[in-house]
Amino acid sequence: MTDMWEISSVEFNKDNIPWYGNKFLIGNGYFGIRGTMEEYTKEQMCAVNMAGIYDRVGDAWRESVNAPNVLYTYIKADGAVYALPDTEPAEHIQSLDFRHGIHLRRTVWQTPKGKITLECERFASMERQHIVGLRCTVSADYDCDFEIVTGIDGDVWDINGPHFAKLDISCEDGVKSVVGTTGEKGVTVSAAEYIRFDFDADKSCDITDKAALSHICFRAGAGKAYTVEKIAEIYSSADTLERSGDIKSLTYDEAKAESVAAWEKIQEISEVVIEGDDEAAKALNYSLYHLNCIAPRNMRSMSIPARGLSGQVYKGAVFWDTEMFMIDYFIYTDPEVAKTLIRYRIDTLGGARKKAAEYGLNGAYYAWESQEGGIEGCSDYNVVDVFTKRPMRTHFRDKQYHVSAAVVYAIMKYIDASGDYSILEEGAAEVAVECARMYRSLLIKKADSDKYEIHDVVGPDEYHERVNNNAYTNRMAKFVFEKTVQLLGVLKDKYPDCYAELDEKYELDRLYAVFADSAEHMYVPEPNPETGLIEQFDGYFKLEDASVDEVRSRLLDEKEYWGGAYGVASDTQVLKQADVVAMLSMFKNDYSTDIMRKNWNYYEPRTEHGSSLSACMYSLLSCYIGDPDSAYPLFMKSASADLLPGSKQWAGLIYIGGTHPASEGGAWIVATLGFAGISAENGRLVSRPALPSKWKAMRFKLRFGGKLYSVNIEGNNSVIEEIK
């Protein structure tokens, strides 16, 4: 059983350092701590990545901020430093208990006199989210002079830093502290720590220009273990989370026990049991572990970046990934987190309005890469050309209009599953109105047509830029119009005061008519009557029909970007990720199984799956088609995105490694809504399972309409029961 909740590596390979930083991550939604070794520095991409704090240095991209590294620890034996990656170990184990968020490393080095061992255990407290615990134990098989150096390293890894314009470092009453102040907005990120040990040693504190370090020197007897425990606290001036209490009075064991209990509570609802396929169960629960490491708990309004809290890749920004791929898991297991994610979009409506206005549009156009306050982190030149080394003009920022629809789609998913309409009054109704107004201002009507079209867009498949009538975008726009009309009706009924306020601002009677008209006349490309195929955008079928391998063989450099003006895929039918297939998965009730199958069969071989968001969408549609065995490998790909090597590391010359929470959330969607066939019908949860042939049974819990249910599936039979 324990193996089901543990991953480990028993060899040391320098090449794995960046990947293991993601794979062995711990976190609690307030920060993520990369799975690097205690002695590592910025060279090895060490990071305590903060949620929701951003900074800009000069003209470089704005990005999230890493806190001072409170884990920093290395050892000396008889005066010589023993530290990875430079000192080759005799043995090295790294492991993660992902049921409880506990990271462990044990390293043995051979010294001229014998063997020394360093073992460190750490956790990011799920109970007190400012707290990190670290326990280090050293021993030698001979009498030896040890020195443990441990403290806070303010010289943090940054991609576009340094973000701390100022560092204040102190050591008082045994509490070491490093406070970084960001240059752009003057946000302080503070790290403090207190250490304990109960053996005889000389202890001194050393303050350098970037670190506060304790030196603990002692004579170690052969075979005896010496343990130092650290409780650290990280907080910032931008916090909405309450502080955690006194780090001097909290012991490692107490803090660990609390955190384990908090994780256990999460796992009781989160765990998905799969009988007959341990590999799938492990990959899925490991994915859910990652989602829980980055879920904004106990915060009113916050979202999750596309690379989670694994670093500054993608600028630490929030994409449509949250609303389309991650939020479902939270809606059904922890609706408070889902609400926090939605409030982030409510609170960043101002930023979305500003962006719409920048492009001459009405309403709200959400940032493609959203940072605090809805600031757009995406630049017009978001990829670097590998040949000229020049930034390439891309159109993610200005043309990926579908992001606003994702926000409304998430609001609807939340309301439909929770039955909680109060979010409308909190601002979600206005978000929908503003998104609908944005889409309305995009509509184009040809002189003799009664249909509205949307031109010059980038759909989910980013390789084809500036296309007209992208089926996905048009269908999502129609959805926004339809749902906004519906939500306004609910608002009028349930929250008349809020309705009256909006009415004054927007003249809702007039908008009703406008949105209803938009929904009715919105052009959505239909399946071709003969082939059943839906064209991804106007003219797609006229593009060269080259295979993915053929297109790949045309690359002159493996890091070359496939899309954009000169990309190898741009003039072909090869697409980056699910586009028409995503639309079919979202609107499965609008299409027959035959149409879904024909489109899956056409588009899948033409899809590069160059985004980790792609596999789960194809997998989900396979489930809807009734073909769980075709869905299975794509599900496994999605669930294993961070467990196995092979994820994409480069977009042009831009490093894009990190964790893949959208893929992880997508795996949960496939498992529950796909294989288990969960849906809501007339306000009730139903399950029409079609499990992969290996799976004998499946058990999990879901929250729905304010109640908690257990779902038990054996073969094709399922029982859903309320848990009282």
User: Distance between CA atoms of 572 and 409, rounded to whole angstroms?
Assistant: 30
At closest approach, how far in Å is the CB of 377 from ligand BGC? 12
Catalytic residue at 462? yes
Residue 319 interacting with ligand BGC (CB under 6 A): yes
Exposure on the CB side of residue 516, measured as CA atoms within 13 A: 11
Contact pattern from residue 320 through residue 359 relative to ligand BGC, giving x for each residue in contact according to CB under 6 A and a dash for the rest = xx--------------------------------------
At closest approach, how far in Å is the CB of 657 from ligand BGC? 12
Structure tokens at 665: 């959330």
User: Distance between CA atoms of 248 and 383, rounded to whole angstroms?
Assistant: 47
Phi, psi of 148 (to 5 degrees): -105, 125
Angle, alpha carbons 353-358-362 (nearest 5°):
50
Amino acid identity of residue 422, one-letter, is S
For ligand BGC, the closer CB: 118 or 613: 613
For ligand BGC, the closer CB: 296 or 377: 377
At closest approach, how far in Å is the CB of 461 from ligand BGC? 8
Task: For tokens 């065995």, name the residue.
Answer: 629
For ligand BGC, the closer CB: 135 or 660: 660
Amino acid identity of residue 408, one-letter, is V
H or E segment and range at residue 164: strand 164-172
Look at phi and psi of residue 539 and say left if phi exceeds 0, alpha if psi is from -120 to 50, else beta.
left
Among the candidate windows 4-12, 318-326, 541-549, 616-624, which touches ligand BGC by CB under 6 A?
318-326
For ligand BGC, the closer CB: 404 or 611: 611
For residue 559, count other CB atoms closer than 10 A to its CB.
Answer: 13
Q: Which of 462, 465, 560, 664 is catalytic?
A: 462
For ligand BGC, the closer CB: 347 or 462: 462
Contact pattern from residue 403 through residue 432 relative to ligand BGC, giving x for each residue in contact according to CB under 6 A and a dash for the rest = ------------------------------
For ligand BGC, the closer CB: 613 or 621: 613
Beta pairing class for 91-97 and 131-140:
unpaired
At closest approach, how far in Å is the CB of 406 from ligand BGC? 9
Residue in 415, 445, 443 with CA at minimum distance from that of residue 429: 415
For ligand BGC, the closer CB: 460 or 652: 460
Structure tokens at 526: 């239909």
Please say whether the beta carbons of 31 and 76 come within 8 A: no
For ligand BGC, the closer CB: 255 or 641: 641
At closest approach, how far in Å is the CB of 573 from ligand BGC? 17
What is the footprint of ligand BGC within residues 38-97 (CB under 6 A)? none
Task: For tokens 């009538």, name the residue.
Answer: 469
At closest approach, how far in Å is the CB of 563 from ligand BGC? 9
User: Distance between CA atoms of 146 and 143, rounded to whole angstroms?
Assistant: 9
Structure tokens at 413: 């998913």
Among the candidate windows 55-63, 270-278, 313-321, 617-625, which touches ligand BGC by CB under 6 A?
313-321
User: Distance between CA atoms of 660 and 319, rounded to whole angstroms?
Assistant: 12
At closest approach, how far in Å is the CB of 15 from ligand BGC? 24
What is the footprint of ligand BGC within residues 546-585 (CB under 6 A)? 576-577
β-bridge mates for residue 190, sequence order:
179, 235
For ligand BGC, the closer CB: 610 or 674: 610
Structure tokens at 309: 């809290």
Which string of b and e fits 681-713 if b means at least 16 CB within 10 Å? Answer: eeeebebebbbbeebebbbbbbbbeeeebebeb
Structure tokens at 446: 């040809």
Contact pattern from residue 592 through residue 611 relative to ligand BGC, giving x for each residue in contact according to CB under 6 A and a dash for the rest = -------------------x
Angle in degrees, 0-180, between the axes of helices 628-639 and 614-625, rounded to the nearest 10: 160
Task: For tokens 């792609």, name the residue.
Answer: 614
Structure tokens at 409: 């789609």
Q: Residue 690's Cα: distance from chain center in Å?
A: 28
Please say whether the beta carbons of 364 and 356 come within 8 A: yes
For ligand BGC, the closer CB: 512 or 650: 650
What is the footprint of ligand BGC within residues 611-650 (CB under 6 A)? 611, 613
What is the footprint of ligand BGC within residues 459-498 (CB under 6 A)? 460, 462
Task: For tokens 């098989």, name the residue.
Answer: 141
717-723 β-sheet, strand order: 273-275, 697-704, 707-714, 717-723
What is the footprint of ligand BGC within residues 270-309 (CB under 6 A)? 306
Residue in 303, 270, 309, 288 with CA at minimum distance from that of residue 659: 309
Q: Please report, for residues 57, 96, 274, 610, the alpha-carbon distance to residue 284 in angstroms, rounded to integers and kept in the order given.
A: 38, 15, 9, 21
DSSP string over 638-697: HHTTTTSS----EEBTEE--S--HHHHHHHHHIIIIIIS-EEEETTEEEE-----TT--E
What is the footprint of ligand BGC within residues 650-709 (CB under 6 A)? 662
For ligand BGC, the closer CB: 462 or 482: 462
Among the candidate windows 20-28, 198-206, 292-300, 314-322, which touches ligand BGC by CB under 6 A?
314-322
At closest approach, how far in Å is the CB of 294 from ligand BGC? 13
Amino acid identity of residue 512, one-letter, is Y
At closest approach, how far in Å is the CB of 676 from ligand BGC? 26
Structure tokens at 329: 């898991």
Please work out the total of residues on this chain that contact ligand BGC, with binding judged by CB under 6 A. Answer: 12
What is the footprint of ligand BGC within residues 171-200 (CB under 6 A)? none
- Please give the positions annotated as active site: 462
**Which stretches of the chain bind ligand BGC, using CB under 6 A?**
306, 314, 319-321, 460, 462, 576-577, 611, 613, 662
